[in-house]
Amino acid sequence: MKRVKTTSDHRIFQKRSGRYAVQDKNKRFLHGDDKTKVLLEAGLVAVPEPKPKAEEAGAEEGSAS
């Protein structure tokens, strides 16, 4: 793993697969919402915007036929 960013509270690594790993100052890896929050603050990931409901309804009707 390659170290991407270091702060006073966290270390962020990038794996060979391109995904990220976040380690806290006690050298424990973070998971789930905690990891996502740290990566968002660092600017390494972006939150995808939800699709409009009109498109979802149209897609469901088309697949039901």
Q: Are the CB atoms for 12 and 4 separated by under 8 Å?
A: yes
Q: Closest Cα partner for 43 from 5, 3, 2?
A: 5
Q: For residue 21, which amino acid is it?
A: A
- Structure pTM? 0.69
Model pLDDT, residue 34:
94
**Phi then psi for 62, rounded to 5 degrees?**
-70, -35
19-41 confidence digits (pLDDT tens): 999 999 999 999 999 999 999 99
Assess whether pLDDT exceeds 90 at residue 49: no
- 8 Å CB contact between 14 and 1: yes
SS3 47: coil
Q: What local confidence, expressed as pLDDT, does residue 46 receive?
A: 87
Residue 61 has pLDDT above 80, yes or no: no
Q: In degrees rounded to 5, what are phi and psi of residue 26?
A: -95, 15
